[in-house]
Amino acid sequence: MNWIVYMPVFARLCPGAMRFANQSWSQKVRDKPGQVDLAKQVLLDNAVYGPAIIFPCFYLLKAAVQERVSFLEGLGRYRDNILEDNLLSCAFWVPADVIIFTAPAWLRMPLV
């Protein structure tokens, strides 16, 4: 699922991202559209993809496998924890995403 989101979807929403990632640092500092795409990627990853896809899937799977409760109960637990989970996730992933999305494309997989 990650490939589907990060490659075709992010490429369409942030068309200059790969060009920006593969530039030298001195070029990145001057590339304002590339910096905007970087910000869009970080925002999409942390404000849309994580809260809307990753965490619900995690809670659904955890409910079914580990806790043996219904999917609705699993989603209810996510609802109870949504703010704390997403704030803690952002505390880690916003800085990490800035590094990952700024790194050259060939270096991204080892970073993640």
Question: For residue 69, what pLDDT is reported?
Answer: 83
51 against 72, higher pLDDT: 51
Give tens-digit pLDDT for 74-93. Answer: 889 999 999 999 999 999 99
Q: How far apart are CA 33 and CA 76, in angstroms?
A: 40
Question: For residue 112, what pLDDT is reported?
Answer: 59
Question: For residue 67, what pLDDT is reported?
Answer: 82
Give tens-digit pLDDT for 6-63. Answer: 778 888 999 999 999 999 999 999 999 999 999 999 999 999 999 999 999 999 999 9
Mean pLDDT of 99-108: 88
Question: For residue 10, what pLDDT is reported?
Answer: 87
Predicted confidence (pLDDT) at residue 111 exceeds the cutoff of 60: no
